[in-house]
Amino acid sequence: MRKGTGVFSRKRFGQNFLEPAWVTKVIRAIAPRSTETFIEIGPGRGALTRPLASEAAHVIAYEIDRNLASQLRTSGLSNVTVVEGDFLDVSGFFPATSHQPPVPSRQPPATVRVAGNLPYNVASPILFKLAELYAQGWPIVDATVMLQREVGDRLVAPPGSRDYGVLSVLMQHVASAERLLALPPGAFRPQPKVHSVLVRLTYHPPAPAVANPATFTRLVQAVFTRRRKTLANALLAYTAADRDGGAALTPAAAVQTAGLDPARRPETLSVTEFARLADIYASISS
């Protein structure tokens, strides 16, 4: 327990708390407005929650640690709804586990913004969860989140770079990513062994649209298991696991139909090229 705080940093939750000197910088980058509703993931001791609540209309804070949730619940922030639980388990917009009154109308706001200091061990699953909720119709405009630097690098990586991979393609398909701020280990207590970044994801409809999102996702995941192979060889990983009947199309034929060079590596394909290739497989299985 850190002296004077009365709060444990629980390693199993990957908790690292933002120092006050950095809170102002992060809030300035988030730029909350008085009419906005925020979802905060991992509020911890409320370092971001308090300034967010003072500038935004409403904050729905998801905290997995029951002790921290309890302390935040009794902090006197009237426009903060504390939800004790794992954000990865979220389904409905107004969870039954909330311990304070949500938005009075019980109707989701027209738009929602997301902020948070994501635990390093579950950052990628949370990012995929946000994309899933957006696809389900949640009115999420953007997510401004603190991440391990390596994860942030993958979010903004261009095709052909060493950091470009599954996370890059699937996130860039539904959101634009912008690096806002670099945070050294000293920005947190306890100090992590890694550097962090603040990244904003601004969500948009899938670009380009794909015929079958599940096929697109599976294809991207499969070929990156062989990222150093040629595209034609890497596609063997997809056709071997495909359950939609697309395996009837040989990798060579799929690549030719997509107008791609079979000698290219998966890591050089743009999001648009992955979408075109996935649509060819989807057309065979439909």
Strand (E) positions, 12-160?
17-18, 37-41, 58-63, 80-84, 112-117, 140-148
How far is the C-alpha of 243 from the C-alpha of 218, rounded, in Å? 10
Two tokens, residue 211: 């015929």
Please state, rounded to an integer, the average pLDDT across all residues of the chain: 88
CATH superfamily entry for domain 213-285: rRNA adenine dimethylase, C-terminal domain (1.10.8.100)
Question: For residue 11, what pLDDT is reported?
Answer: 45
How far is the C-alpha of 25 from the C-alpha of 31, rounded, in Å? 10
> Hey, where are the domains in the chain?
11-203, 213-285
Question: For residue 4, what pLDDT is reported?
Answer: 34
**CB contact at 8 A, 214 and 27:** no
Place of tokens 């008085």: 34
How far is the C-alpha of 45 from the C-alpha of 68, rounded, in Å? 6
Can you state the angle between helices 123-135 and 149-156, rounded to 10 degrees?
Answer: 40
**Residue pLDDT, tens place only, 231-256:** 999 999 998 766 454 456 889 999 99
Question: For residue 120, what pLDDT is reported?
Answer: 85
Question: For residue 3, what pLDDT is reported?
Answer: 32
Q: What DSSP string describes 53-86? A: HHHSSEEEEEES-HHHHHHHHTS--TTEEEEES-
Instruction: Categorise residue 250: left if φ over 0, alpha if ψ from -120 to 50, beta otherwise.
Output: beta
Can you state the angle between helices 231-241 and 213-223, rounded to 10 degrees?
Answer: 120
Two tokens, residue 103: 């938005």
Q: Do domains 11-203 and 213-285 have the same CATH topology?
A: no
- What residues in the chain have per-residue pLDDT under 50? 1-14, 96-105, 243, 245-246
- Protein fold of 11-203: Rossmann fold (3.40.50)
Strand (E) positions, the chain?
17-18, 37-41, 58-63, 80-84, 112-117, 140-148, 175-183, 188-189, 196-203
Question: For residue 189, what pLDDT is reported?
Answer: 81
